[in-house]
Amino acid sequence: MSVFENPRPYALLPGRIPRPSRWMLIRVSALLAAVALSGVFALYAGVRLYTLIEGDFGFATVPQAQLDATDSQYETAGRIQVCAYAPCAVMFIVWFFRMRRSTGLMAPDRFRSGLGWAIGAWFIPIANLWMPYRIASTCGEPRPRCRPTASPTVHRCGR
């Protein structure tokens, strides 16, 4: 019988643990703010178009120039949303991957799935509703403190 409680030894921590930079977090936050602002602008353009069409007597009485200008503004809002959403999604997935990688290096026994699932989980049609959440919640779980064993030089960290 083994002297240790767990026959599977814990992996050693690497010398330098890569951490996601704060600048990446700031960029992701700024891009999320840009997405939110583009959504507010699209909501404004949509409400403006709706009130123009559903106004006094409907779209039949609205001047064509005013209807075209409002419709153009609504299309511009959609383009702005796409231009804000695409880089935000890419940067967020890169940040999410780096968070998973750094957490996986500090606690390799914590995750059931591999490192690539931090990216791939977002692209599976139904599973993208819970898999990224599971990965993120696993990254955020607090680790229990180290507890001493019978030997004064060996400490057990983890479960």
151 within a domain of the structure (yes/no) = no
155 within a domain of the structure (yes/no) = no
**Global model pTM greater than 0.85:** no
CB-based contact 115:105 (threshold 8 Å): no
What pLDDT band is residue 134 in, cutting at 50, 70 and 90?
confident
Which residue(s) pair with 147 in the sheet?
156
2 within a domain of the structure (yes/no) = no
Query: What is the domain extent for residue 84?
Result: 22-141
d(CA 109, CA 157): 11
> Greatest CA separation found in the chain?
89
d(CA 31, CA 90): 10
Domain count, the chain: 1
What pLDDT band is residue 137 in, cutting at 50, 70 and 90?
confident
